[in-house]
């Protein structure tokens, strides 16, 4: 296939993707007004607050997974510290709202600016090393963040209890169960923006630079590129998108919990991305959705009578969602490289172009 | 003719890139077969593909036995000695440790390698290999291969970067070794080829472009220029 | 003065625990290029195994100790054989599999033993203190230090004096050349995992005695500091892991006592080391 044909096909793929995306977003935007059955995936019909909350939660997890995809999937950097940037968004906004009289929007802007600054500094330090060392360093920074949150310095973070959302400066329509649909639309807006940013970067020159650096850092350097800068840009964009997502998450959950700053939380993001297919934007969307639904609904499964009556050998593993998800993840890594996207490719008989997972450079 | 190694339609890939396109040649049971070619045409990759050190497909047989699906260590255990490009001695290990690691048989030919390289294998036995000169490291690397009885030796650019005097020493060792075991020798130095090789296999762009007696090629400067891009004399 | 001594010695004890985790991590990484996220689970499982044995047949800790080590060794060897080996040379996937294993096993442990720490009964003399220069130091601390020193010596002797030690040292330097000498390096892989499992098993029992409880999360929290230790010490360097374990733990202990943010100081130390010496204190090449 000539390169011209490839690029034509790419552009056509871009329009198709846009059309699909617009259709999905339009449908999702209408859901709070519709009475569709939950089909066991949701706790009730689509317009009920419980279902809207779960869907908003899923969308924010998709958004967060997409921000992680910028760093891991696109730039090929195995970060184990992404929860830190999400946490900056959640706790940053939570603290500003609680301690100051600044209204929501300016507060969010302040947190974003400070957050981008912090992301820059930590990214620059972490990128002194690459590969596995990079993974460990990002993990260590995130762990420091988690320790900070749990120690509750000056009563700012609320420690293990968590931090409740101070509502005095938050618009009324974001507060209360009856207003869940507005939070739902906020989450939808966030995921649309994050997806658009990620897609735009992937199609742009910068995105090609990032991908080229992932594939062959040496070659980029020889050609006069600066891998460090390219990687830092990817890291900061991914971190910033996580911060934005975190701020919406604070509003949705009406508070912050330290569990969302742990290393395990980053690992679950990694699981989502790998589940869907590393390096595949839509794969990440599907992976995060499937993961979150399973994670939420497997808890319900555990309390099901059929499970409760099983002998302990079966009951205990089956009532631990993370055990099932972890095992599923192992099986996918071992037997289905490329994740769910590869399954779709196989079904569509699209030849896999390159190895799904690359060694980080 | 009786062949110790046959290679047919061998391909090799490194990180998804095909570096050996389609290589076929045979190695007779005696003497030195030289593999020639310009830099970066896939000579080293061909050797690595034979050994399974890179991903490969095609057909390779050692004494009639298929080895293309085997793990590297199994192939070596069948009796293949390997002297890699750039020596690849274990720099943190002593000379003695380097050699003892390579031993694969109950009664290794330690006396033989001591005799060949007394100043390295005997005198510097307890020295760390990383502290040796390039020529001395090459001797450790050769000793690692020669300490076993092999059916075949694969030697990759043993004279690269060495002083002329050391080049002669290495050539002497290889001639000595070739008396008892067939050798595949990747080499850029035409003088060494002139000294040792009976046959040549020329590779270009991942394919074999010429095979024949060494003498015939060496006596034809135009052909050398065409195949290797060097003048016969200038390469020495 | 006695506070200083107490902090120093308990710091060394904590360092001993870090080393027991980090030594295995470092060996595995050095030889195989795999960062083993499941290493904490080996430790946790061993700790629970030791506790279960102690609970059932009395506090004869030696039996519990041996069972714990055996469990660590077997689980580690099985992990290598069943999960790591099929993904030969695909390092990212190998890391991902250990990530999955760590998530799944921690969840399983929580299902079996509950999510909260369980206070354990210890042999009385382990809780008793010995006074050194006026500092009352719990005996369990000395046991931890002694065990770590023994493990360090044992590993060094093994690496220096045995053929498999030789293969491991060579493999850390150049894995593919080891196979090119006719050695099945995968056996050494299983071996380093087993050794790592043994060290983690010892660490599990000692950690539960040091802290006085067992918990599904104890391995994971030690693992993070062990990661920091291996990076600071230099990936793949056993001596580096030993030095960095002591450095990190003692520093942590002192800052925790005087300021309360020892964990942050450790991360700061990591950042400084990376800025000044990216390959770690005793690492050979830039990782």
pLDDT confidence bin for A348, thresholds 50/70/90 = low
Tokens of C214: 């067992």
Distance CA(C192)–CA(C29), nearest Å, equals: 10
DSSP, residue by residue, C3-66: HHHHHHHHHHHHHHHHHHHHHHHHHHHHHH----TTHHHHHHHHHHHHHHHHHHH-S-HHHHHH
pLDDT digits (tens, 9 = 90+) for B145-192: 999 999 999 999 999 888 889 999 999 999 999 999 999 999 988 889
Is residue A356 one of the residues assigned to a domain?
no
Query: Is the pLDDT assigned to residue A179 strictly greater than 60?
Result: yes
Q: Smallest CA–CA separation between A317 and chain C, in Å?
A: 6
Q: What is the pLDDT of residue A6?
A: 58
Q: Do A326 and C105 touch (CB under 8 A)?
A: yes
Furthest-apart CA atoms within chain C: distance in Å: 58
Asked if B101 lies within 8 A of C179 by C-beta distance, the reply is no
Q: What is the pLDDT of residues A74-130, one digit of tens each?
A: 888 889 999 999 999 999 999 998 888 888 888 999 999 999 999 999 999 889 888
How does DSSP assign B35-62, residue by residue?
EE-STTSSHHHHHHHHHTSSEEEEEEEE
Contact status, residue B78 vs residue B154, Cβ threshold 8 Å? no
Residue B1, pLDDT score: 54
Which chains reach chain B with 3 or more Cβ–Cβ distances below 8 angstroms? C
Q: Which tokens hold the place of B159?
A: 């004279």
Q: Are C25 and C230 in contact (CB under 8 A)?
A: yes
**B77–C170 C-beta distance less than 8 A:** no
Alpha-helix residue ranges (DSSP H) falling in A129-260:
131-151, 180-203, 205-215, 217-222, 227-253
Taking any CB pair shorter than 8 Å as contact, residues of chain B touching chain C are 51, 53, 71-73, 76-77, 82, 84, 88, 90-93, 97, 100-102, 104, 144
- What pLDDT score does C215 carry? 95
pLDDT at residue B38 in the model: 85
pLDDT tens sequence across A184-207: 999 999 999 999 999 888 888 777
Q: Which candidate, B45, B37, B50, places its Cα nearest to that of B76? A: B50
Q: Hey, where are the domains in chain C?
A: 2-118+135-276
DSSP symbol at A101: -
Domains of chain B in sequence order: 1-79+182-231 (3.40.50.300)
CA distance A145 to A139: 10
Q: Nearest CB to A144: which of C33, C112, C264?
A: C264
Output the pLDDT for position B126.
93
CATH of domain C2-118+135-276: 1.10.3470
Backbone conformation region of residue B10, classed left if phi is above 0, alpha if psi is from -120 to 50, else beta? beta
Distance CA C235, CA C30 (A): 6
CA separation for the pair A159, A147 (Å, rounded): 9
**Closest residue to B73, CB basis, from C170, C173, C179:** C179
Interatomic CA distance for residues C168 and C196, integer angstroms:
13
Best B15, B52, B70, B101 member to test C by mutation, with max C CBs in 10 Å, is B101
| Angle at which helices B95-102 and B134-146 cross, to 10° | 30
Between CA A37 and CA A40 the distance in angstroms is 8
pLDDT at A359: 40
Q: How many domains does chain A have?
A: 1
3-class DSSP assignment, residue A309: coil
Average pLDDT over residues A166-177: 76
Among A125, A333, A358, whose Cβ lies nearest the Cβ of C97?
A333
Instruction: Sort strands B32-36 and B199-204 into parallel, antiparallel or unpaired.
Output: parallel
For strands B152-156 and B80-83, give the pairing: parallel
Residue that wins the pLDDT comparison between B196 and A162: B196
Option in C170, C185, C284 nearest B90 (CB): C170
For residue C177, give the nearest of B84, B97, B100 by CB distance. B84
Report which of C111, C105, C74, C36 is spatially closest to residue A327, judged by C-alpha positions: C105
Question: Residues with Cβ < 8 Å from A325, sequence gap 6 or more?
Answer: A268, A271, A291, A294, A295, A298, C103, C104
Query: Would you state the pLDDT for residue A19?
Result: 86
Q: How far apart are CA A158 and CA B207, in angstroms?
A: 68
Interface test with C, best of B50, B51, B72, B155 (most C CBs within 10 A): B72
Q: What pLDDT score was predicted for residue A5? A: 56
CB-CB neighbors (< 8 A) of C159 in chain B:
none
Residues lower than pLDDT 50 in chain C: 286-287
| Cα gap C108→C104, rounded to integer Å | 6
Greatest Cα pair distance in chain A = 65
Over residues A284-303, the pLDDT tens digits come to 999 999 999 888 888 777 77
Cβ pair C180:B76 closer than 8 A: yes
Strands, E assignment, C222-284: none
Of all residues in chain A, what percent carry a pLDDT higher than 70? 91
Residue A250 domain flag? yes
Task: Determine the residue of chain A that is closest to C279 in CA distance.
Answer: A129
Size of interface B-C (CB pairs under 8 A): 56
Q: B70 — alpha (psi -120 to 50), left (phi > 0) or beta?
A: beta
For residue A105, the tally of other CB atoms under 10 A from its CB is 10
Give a yes or no: residue A311 inside a domain: yes
Contacts of A321 in chain C (CB under 8 A): 107
CB contact under 8 Å between C184 and B73, yes or no, is yes
| pLDDT at position C284 | 67
Residue A136 domain boundaries: 51-348
Work out the minimum CA distance from B10 to partner chain C, whole angstroms: 19
Q: To the nearest whole angstrom, how far is the Cα of A145 from the nearest Cα of chain C?
A: 8
Residue A9 lies in a domain: no
Model-level ipTM above the cut of 0.85: yes
Residues C109-131: tens digit of each pLDDT: 999 999 999 998 877 777 788 88
How many Cβ pairs closer than 8 A exist between chain A and C? 139
CA distance to partner chain B, nearest, from residue C22 (Å): 22
Q: Tell me the CATH number at A254.
A: 1.10.3470
Confidence of residue B232 (pLDDT cuts 50, 70, 90): very low
Is the separation of the CB atoms in B8 and B170 below 8 Å?
Answer: no
Q: Which of A80, A84, A137 should we substitute to test contact with C (largest number of C Cβ atoms within 10 Å)?
A: A137
pLDDT band at A349 (very low <50, low <70, confident <90, very high): low
Quick one: pLDDT at residue A352? Answer: 47
DSSP H helices, chain B, are: 43-51, 72-77, 95-102, 110-116, 134-146, 164-178, 190-196, 214-218, 221-228
Q: Locate B48 and state its tokens.
A: 């690595």
Residue A82: CB atoms within 10 A of its CB come to: 27
H/E stretch holding A359 reads none
pLDDT band at A4 (very low <50, low <70, confident <90, very high): low
């Amino acid at each position: 296939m000539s390169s011209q044909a490839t690029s034509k096909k790419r552009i056509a793929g871009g329009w198709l993707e846009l059309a699909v995306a617009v259709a999905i977003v339009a449908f999702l935007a209408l859901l709070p007004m519709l009475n569709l059955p939950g089909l066991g995936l949701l706790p009730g019909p689509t317009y009920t607050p419980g279902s809207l909350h779960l869907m908003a939660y899923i969308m924010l997890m998709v958004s967060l997974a997409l921000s992680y995809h910028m760093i891991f999937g696109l730039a090929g950097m195995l970060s184990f510290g992404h929860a830190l940037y999400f946490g900056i968004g959640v706790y940053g906004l939570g603290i500003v709202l609680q301690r100051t009289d600044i209204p929501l929007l300016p507060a969010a802007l302040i947190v974003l600016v400070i957050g981008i600054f912090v992301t820059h500094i930590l990214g620059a330090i972490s990128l002194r090393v690459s590969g596995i060392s990079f993974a460990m360093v990002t993990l260590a920074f995130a762990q420091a963040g988690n320790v900070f949150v749990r120690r509750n310095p000056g009563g700012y973070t609320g420690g293990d209890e968590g931090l409740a959302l101070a509502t005095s400066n938050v618009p009324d329509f974001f507060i209360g169960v009856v207003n869940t649909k507005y939070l739902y639309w906020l989450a939808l807006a966030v995921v649309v923006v994050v997806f658009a940013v990620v897609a735009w970067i992937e199609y742009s020159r910068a995105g090609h630079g990032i991908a080229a650096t992932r594939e062959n850092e040496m070659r980029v350097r020889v050609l006069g590129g600066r891998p460090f800068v390219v990687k830092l840009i990817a890291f900061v964009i991914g971190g910033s998108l996580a911060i934005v997502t975190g701020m919406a998450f604070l509003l949705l959950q009406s508070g912050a919990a330290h569990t969302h700053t742990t290393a395990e939380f980053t690992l679950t993001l990694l699981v989502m991305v790998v589940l869907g297919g590393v390096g595949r934007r839509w794969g990440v969307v599907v992976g995060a959705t499937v993961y979150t639904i399973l994670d939420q609904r497997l808890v319900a499964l555990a309390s099901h009578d059929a499970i409760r009556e099983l002998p302990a050998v079966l009951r205990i593993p089956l009532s631990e969602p993370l055990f099932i998800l972890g095992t599923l993840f192992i099986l996918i890594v071992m037997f289905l490289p490329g994740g769910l996207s590869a399954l779709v490719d196989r079904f569509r008989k699209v030849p896999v172009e390159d190895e799904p997972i690359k060694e980080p450079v | 003719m009786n062949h110790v190694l046959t290679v047919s339609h061998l391909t090799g890939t490194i990180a998804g890139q095909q570096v050996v396109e389609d290589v076929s040649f045979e190695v007779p049971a005696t003497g030195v077969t030289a593999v020639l070619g310009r830099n970066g045409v896939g000579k080293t990759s061909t050797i690595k593909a034979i050994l399974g050190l890179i991903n490969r497909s095609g057909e390779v047989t050692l004494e009639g036995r298929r080895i293309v699906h085997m793990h590297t260590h199994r192939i070596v255990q069948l009796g293949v000695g390997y002297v890699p490009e750039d020596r690849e001695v274990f720099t943190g290990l002593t000379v003695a440790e380097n050699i003892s690691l390579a031993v694969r048989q109950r009664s290794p030919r330690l006396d033989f390698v001591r005799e060949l390289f007394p100043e390295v294998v005997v005198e510097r036995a307890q020295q760390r290999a990383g502290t040796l000169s390039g020529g001395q490291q090459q001797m450790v690397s050769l000793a690692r291969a020669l300490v076993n009885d092999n059916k075949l030796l694969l030697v990759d650019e043993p004279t690269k970067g060495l002083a002329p005097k050391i080049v002669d020493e290495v050539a002497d060792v290889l001639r000595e070794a070739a008396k008892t075991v067939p050798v595949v020798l990747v080499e850029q130095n035409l003088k060494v080829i002139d000294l040792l090789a009976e046959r040549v296999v020329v590779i270009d762009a991942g394919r074999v472009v010429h095979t024949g007696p060494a003498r015939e090629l060496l006596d034809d400067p135009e052909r050398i220029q065409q195949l290797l891009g060097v003048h016969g004399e200038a390469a020495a | 003065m006695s506070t200083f001594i107490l902090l120093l010695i308990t710091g060394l004890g904590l360092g001993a625990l870090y080393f027991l985790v980090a030594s295995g991590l470092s060996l595995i990484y050095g030889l195989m290029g795999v960062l083993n996220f499941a290493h904490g689970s080996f430790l946790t499982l061993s700790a629970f195994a030791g506790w279960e044995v102690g609970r059932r047949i009395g506090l004869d800790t030696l039996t519990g100790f041996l069972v714990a080590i055996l469990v660590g060794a077997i689980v580690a060897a099985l992990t290598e054989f069943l999960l790591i080996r099929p993904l030969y040379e695909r390092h990212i996937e190998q890391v991902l599999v250990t990530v999955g294993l760590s998530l799944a096993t921690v969840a399983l442990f929580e299902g079996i033993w509950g999510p909260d720490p369980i206070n354990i009964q210890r042999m009385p003399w382990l809780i008793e203190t010995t006074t050194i220069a006026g500092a009352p130091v719990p005996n369990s601390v000395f046991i931890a230090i002694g065990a770590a020193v023994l493990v360090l010596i044992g590993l060094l002797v093994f690496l220096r004096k045995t053929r498999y030690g030789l293969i491991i040292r060579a493999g850390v330097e150049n894995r593919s050349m080891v196979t090119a000498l006719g050695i099945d390096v995968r056996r050494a892989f299983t071996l380093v995992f087993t050794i790592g499992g043994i060290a983690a098993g010892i660490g599990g029992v000692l950690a539960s005695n040091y802290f006085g409880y067992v918990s599904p999360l104890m391995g994971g929290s030690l693992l993070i500091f062990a990661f920091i230790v291996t990076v600071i010490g230099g990936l793949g360097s056993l001596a580096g892991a030993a030095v960095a374990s002591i450095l990190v733990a003692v520093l942590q202990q002192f800052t925790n006592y005087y300021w309360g943010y020892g964990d942050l100081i450790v991360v700061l130390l990591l950042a400084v080391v990376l800025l000044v010496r990216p390959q770690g204190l005793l690492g050979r090449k830039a990782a």
